[in-house]
């Protein structure tokens, strides 16, 4: 039954569906079913490759036929699994029965009891979910983060020589370069991106309570720990946790969510700075024909993209925080609270995806207002006081800080004329005065 997105409870599947639909392949119910089928089939193939005695005669030429089940996964397969689940009331068991049906069709019914052999549901879930997360991040989220970083690098290069009045505590401060301010975000994002990618995608694979009990009692001569490591680490490309309960302990999963949250916080900081620069008229925004900024005030062009990003980051981070705090905690060998929570992994990623795309869209709308930026520098000559008093310190001039403090904290306006008059009163050499006279708010920007 196809429901209109207009009736979706979550805007992720409604209003923002076109933005987030690329994540459905990895984090939807259909995606989870497909990844479970993938793990079950690859596990059966791995048992054949040992081989178990009862699988020694399995025609390995059939492996590709088995793999085609998940490679060419059909919507009818998803519906079949869900129909089976109505009877089993167990989602992973429904997947097992579905694969057994395919074995019957392929004339492999002799071997079908080795589907899901010795496993518990979490052997499938705790491999399929980290595998889907790995693919979802690498194929969707990572490229979007990199696109944002690349755009910021490009803007930093474009604005490298734009002098900008800095503001500390909201007050005029030592001037900077706009390009350098953008590179602050580039550096922060790149460092956290590296840390995110360094977190292993950990998986649990070891039977009902992590000890390969069923495997060992059936085939005691096989080193099942070595088998599990090879299957998870090499065949699936994940990182098998060596000592677990029924479930993965989720510590690395929590680290991934924490890393994503830190990246979001950097983007949030960027959003707020861009929003503020727009409010200060340092940037204008490109206007698209037909768009309305305000329903009441025709002149307005609101910074809605940065606001949209900020709102979605708030939702994403609240969920990441809950996932990171809840998942590593489970009673004894396992309670069921992780199961329902894990089904929501894609939700914060969807809100993060919306946020990144909104930030990129907002950045691409920016039009530099050099006139306003230059005028703000000209209106704040007091910021060169730091430069003057520092040079006077170098010259051992008596009480330079106090002299500049008295000048700059008067109610009289400070401008190029008052600064020049002050320099003329100083008891220093003409060479030093000449050095001081060339300092302006526009060129007192450090070494960037």
108-110-116 Cα angle (round to 5): 85
Cα distances from 140 to residues 144, 314, 369, 411, in angstroms, run: 7, 20, 34, 56
- ∠ CA 224-240-222, nearest 5°, is 5
| Structure-block tokens of residue 35 | 């990844």
CB 383 within 8 A of CB 171: no
Contacts of 103 (CB under 8 A, 6+ apart): 109, 111, 112, 115
Length of the chain: 448
Q: List residues with catalytic annotation.
A: 169, 294
Q: Look at residues 264, 348, 359 and name the one whose alpha carbon lies nearest to residue 308.
A: 359
DSSP states along 159-212: TTT-EEEEEETTEEEEEEEHHHHHHHHHHHHHHHHHHHHHS--EE--SSTTSS-
By the 10 Å C-beta count (0-12 exposed, 13-18 middle, 19+ buried), 151 is classed as middle
**Residues facing 176 on adjacent strands:** 164
């Amino acid at each position: 039954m196809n429901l209109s997105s207009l009736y979706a409870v979550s805007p992720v599947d409604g209003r923002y569906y076109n933005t987030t639909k690329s994540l459905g392949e990895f984090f939807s119910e259909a995606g989870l079913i497909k990844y479970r089928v993938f793990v079950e089939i690859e596990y059966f193939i791995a048992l054949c490759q040992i081989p178990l005695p009862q699988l020694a005669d399995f025609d390995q030429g059939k492996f590709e036929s088995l793999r085609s089940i998940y490679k060419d996964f059909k919507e009818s397969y998803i519906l079949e699994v869900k129909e089976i689940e109505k009877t089993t009331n167990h989602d992973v068991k429904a997947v097992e029965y579905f694969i057994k049906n395919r074995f019957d069709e392929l004339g492999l019914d002799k071997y079908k009891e080795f589907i899901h052999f010795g496993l518990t549901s979490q052997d499938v879930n705790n491999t399929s979910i980290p595998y889907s997360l790995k693919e979802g991040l690498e194929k969707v989220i990572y490229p979007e983060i990199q696109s944002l970083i690349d755009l910021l690098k490009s803007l930093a290069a474009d604005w490298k020589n734009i002098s900008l009045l800095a503001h500390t505590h909201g007050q005029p401060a030592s001037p900077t370069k706009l390009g350098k301010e953008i590179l602050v975000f580039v550096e922060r994002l790149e460092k956290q991106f590296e840390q995110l990618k360094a977190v292993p995608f950990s998986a649990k694979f070891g039977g009902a309570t992590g000890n390969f009990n069923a495997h060992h009692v059936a085939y005691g001569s096989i080193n099942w720990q070595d088998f599990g490591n090879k299957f998870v680490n090499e065949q699936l490309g994940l990182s098998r946790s060596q000592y677990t309960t029924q479930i993965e302990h989720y510590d690395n999963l929590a680290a991934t969510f924490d890393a994503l949250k830190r990246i979001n916080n950097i983007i949030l900081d960027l959003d707020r700075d861009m929003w503020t620069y727009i409010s200060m008229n340092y940037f204008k925004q490109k206007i698209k024909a037909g768009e309305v900024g305000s329903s009441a005030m025709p002149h307005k062009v609101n910074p809605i993209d940065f606001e949209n990003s900020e709102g979605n980051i708030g939702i994403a981070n609240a969920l990441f925080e809950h996932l990171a705090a809840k998942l590593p905690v489970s009673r004894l060998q396992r309670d069921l609270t992780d199961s329902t929570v894990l089904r929501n992994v894609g939700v914060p990623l969807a809100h993060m995806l919306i946020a990144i795309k909104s930030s990129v869209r907002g950045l691409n709308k920016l039009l530099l207002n050099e006139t306003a930026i230059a005028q703000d520098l000209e209106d704040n000559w007091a910021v060169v006081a730091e430069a003057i008093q520092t040079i006077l310190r170098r010259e051992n001039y008596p009480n330079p800080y106090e002299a500049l403090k008295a000048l700059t904290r008067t109610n009289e306006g400070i401008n190029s004329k008052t600064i020049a008059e002050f320099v003329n009163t100083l008891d220093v050499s003409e060479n030093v005065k000449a050095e001081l006279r060339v300092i302006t708010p526009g060129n007192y920007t450090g070494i960037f």
